[in-house]
Structure 1
Amino acid sequence: MRIIKNKNEQTHTITKDIQLLPFLLELFPNKSRNAVKSILTRGQVSVNGKTITQHNHPLTSGDEVQILNNQAAQKQSILNGITILHEDEDIIVIHKEAGILSMAAKDPQERTAYRQLNDYVKEDNRKNRIFIVHRLDRDTSGVMLFAKSEEIKEALQENWHEIVKERVYTVVVEGALKKDEGSIESWLTESKSTKVYSSTYDNGGKHAITHYKKVGGNRQYTLLEANLETGRKNQIRVHMEALGHPVVGDRKYEATTNPLKRLGLHATTLAFTHPRTGTLVRYSAPVPKSFYQLVK
């Protein structure tokens, strides 16, 4: 079992099949059973980036179990609708739930991801700040990246297309796709009403390429994995509309159904070169179960 420790948490890589509570009891032999259960109850344990409180949660070889110390757990308790997947001196990677704005809000009291993380880092030092690197729509869930300094933010944004190696989304679209996989290439332009339009020829817009693969589906809906070769505003939403299969819940781009009561779009994986260490890092957020249930 590989163990990585920092001041806030320890991470363990699982090497055998075992349930979560028995694993923790083995890990903390000097703690009582009730004390170990309390660690779970307080939300200090996450598996592969998702907080888990169930005692019988199954662990398999390769899973990563993160355990926060009490102080770090209390600090993270101020966060609502976002979960920290990774934090170091330069970046914070989060899992944002649908319904949470990334940054700007008309209501100055709304707890956007940006405002919550700003409050979070100020718990350690009032001078600390965070900087937004990219955005997700309010009703899109998944992995987001923030910087802890303007220097790191600029390093990431200025070299975004070179630094980012993988951007994978999970998408639920209307209808049954005839092709199991394919690619969409077009040029995107934005109107004054902020709607983005797709053109099959170079009209001076931004070049956009999306690769997609069918994961599951039925007669009404299809579950796709979309890999962005370029990252343009509303790219997947526009390309799915152009394909004739709009993202469910996306009235802006011609969807007629909203079975999930949210946008059927989830940022599953972000892989990039760390701006300071130069190493390739990869973070994932679990796909909402409702996506799979819809295409059964």
Structure 2
Amino acid sequence: MKGKSSGPSRGGPRKPGAAPQGRARGAVKAARARKPDAPRPAPNPAPKVAAAKSAPVKASPAKGVSLDVRQFRVGADDDGIRLDRWFQRHLPDVGFNVVSRWARTGQLRVDGARAAPGDRVAEGQTIRVPPAEPKAAEIAKPRRVRPQLTDDQIAFAQSLVIHRDAQAIVINKPPGLATQGGTKTDDHVDGLLDALEFELDQRPKLVHRLDKDTSGALLIARTARSAAHFAKAFSSRTARKVYWAIVMGVPSIEDGMIELPIAKQPGTGGEKMHVDEEEGLPARSRYRVIERAGNRAAWVELQPYTGRTHQLRVHMAAIGHPIVGDGKYGGKEAFLSGTISRKMHLHARRIRVDHPDGDRVDVRAELPEHFAASLVSLGFDLHAGDLPLDEEIARKPTREDEKKVAKAHAKQIRKGRKGERRARGASGGAKSGGPKSGGAPRRK
């Protein structure tokens, strides 16, 4: 039977104190694996992050992903907001386009997951943001300086004011003066607003407009707060505007509603509108005949229920009764012979809108000379024009109104009877020296 030799291994006798050769080879291999001379890398502690404070984090390189990233912790004030809104608050120098690009390339992450600008973040989440990118040098735009108004311009602008309070100004805009500037238009109301600062020392703001050839009441806001209030009133159609016009012919219906959609007329560069049943925007106008001059012309009141460009002019021309002097939409048929002026006869007579401080702004603007002269020439009564609005007309109470009145009356009677019972109970208690023993207090 053969066994392992207990003698020395091959290669000669072993030196005293030397390790066996097999063990030495194993020790060398272990030493090579451990590399005891090289220091071990210490584990990286998790970076501390806080709202609006960045901490650099080392990340494994990946295509399209930057190494020097920043991390932010979402605070309680930002809980539930959109990610792009978070950037607006805390990193306003990072534009939306940059945020979108980071999201597309996977560099923008929330709690390690890819995120989109429209995602909402929650308190405690970690937002991973790539390093800031160098911004291109911005070319400073020359600041536009408004021309200094002359004394005559200031006096003219202030002469147009027909109402003024702490929040609003109403002017009576003359025909021929544009509301805002444009191509080859240097004279306009917007250029005169510096003259209407008065004691507030801040430039007023336009909140609606009138066509250049339309005269009448134009509301102007004096503060940013009133501008927002009035703009909302016009957009929600709570503001009421009443126009006067002289139209060709006489409408067969004396009180009518025109509902025809309006769109820009192709080929006019947006300078002219027309009725477009397919692609036009909804438009509603009401008219009421005030007086008639035989079958030649009529004096009408107009109320726009929507705010389309040139709405009243387009609608009246569409029903065959263009406004006198409106050659743009009525053509040659929009002019009366004789002494009647060829200027357009459309005037913003009245504006009524809720005031930001309560109550209402309710102002009427006097007619320009050519309009008033035409009314006289056609034999109209100047005092007949101001028709009451629907809500101002006293009407017969409906059945529903009567029920409300009866209900309120019954409530008053019940309250009176309840007061009498209390009075009797109080007088009885005083005579007997107090409430009866064991009695419960009366519920009030």
1:134/1:237 CA distance change after superposition, 3 Å: same
Contact 1:75-1:120 at 8 Å conserved across structures: no
Q: 2:304 is matched with which residue: 228, 241, 256? A: 228
Deviation of 1:84 after TM superposition, in Å, equals 0.9
Amino acid at match of 1:91: A
Q: Which runs of 4+ in 1 moved over 6 A?
A: 74-77
Q: 1:180 is matched with which residue: 245, 254, 257? A: 254
Structure 1: runs of 5 or more not aligned:
1-73
Q: CA separation in 2, counterparts of 1:232 and 1:106?
A: 21
Q: 1:79 is matched with which residue: 138, 142, 156? A: 156
User: Which residue matches 1:169?
Assistant: 243
Q: 1:290 is matched with which residue: 367, 373, 378? A: 373
Q: Pick the structure with more strand per residue.
A: 1
> In the comparison of the two structures, how many residue pairs are matched?
217
Structure 2: runs of 5 or more not aligned:
1-150, 380-444
Q: Which has the larger radius of gyration?
A: 2
User: Which residue matches 1:143?
Assistant: 217
Q: CA separation in 1, counterparts of 2:246 and 2:283?
A: 20
Q: CA separation in 2, counterparts of 1:249 and 1:227?
A: 19
Deviation of 1:80 after TM superposition, in Å, equals 5.1
Amino acid at match of 1:103: Q
Deviation of 1:76 after TM superposition, in Å, equals 9.7
Q: 5 Å matches for 1:42-53?
A: none
User: Which residue matches 1:260?
Assistant: 341
Q: CA separation in 2, counterparts of 1:108 and 1:252?
A: 18
Amino acid at match of 1:83: L
Deviation of 1:163 after TM superposition, in Å, equals 6.0
Q: Pick the structure with more helix per residue.
A: 2
1:81/1:149 CA distance change after superposition, 3 Å: closer
Residue 250 (structure 2) pairs with residue 250 (structure 1):
no
Deviation of 1:124 after TM superposition, in Å, equals 4.5
Deviation of 1:261 after TM superposition, in Å, equals 2.8
Match of 1:254, SS state, is: helix
Q: CA separation in 1, counterparts of 2:376 and 2:170?
A: 27
User: Which residue matches 2:89?
Assistant: none
Q: CA separation in 2, counterparts of 1:282 and 1:86?
A: 9
Deviation of 1:272 after TM superposition, in Å, equals 0.6
Deviation of 1:101 after TM superposition, in Å, equals 1.3
Contact 1:183-1:211 at 8 Å conserved across structures: yes
Q: CA separation in 2, counterparts of 1:285 and 1:231?
A: 20
Question: Looking at both structures, which has the greater relative contact order when contacts are Cα pairs under 8 Å and sequence separation is at least 6?
Answer: 1
1:79/1:206 CA distance change after superposition, 3 Å: same
Residue 264 (structure 2) pairs with residue 190 (structure 1):
yes
Deviation of 1:82 after TM superposition, in Å, equals 5.5
Residues 76-122 of structure 1 show CA distances to partners (whole Å, capped at 9, x for unaligned) of 97125952121122221111111111121445752x2222232232x
Task: Please report the TM-score for the alignment, with normalisation by the length of structure 1.
Answer: 0.66
Match of 2:325, SS state, is: coil
Amino acid at match of 2:207: V
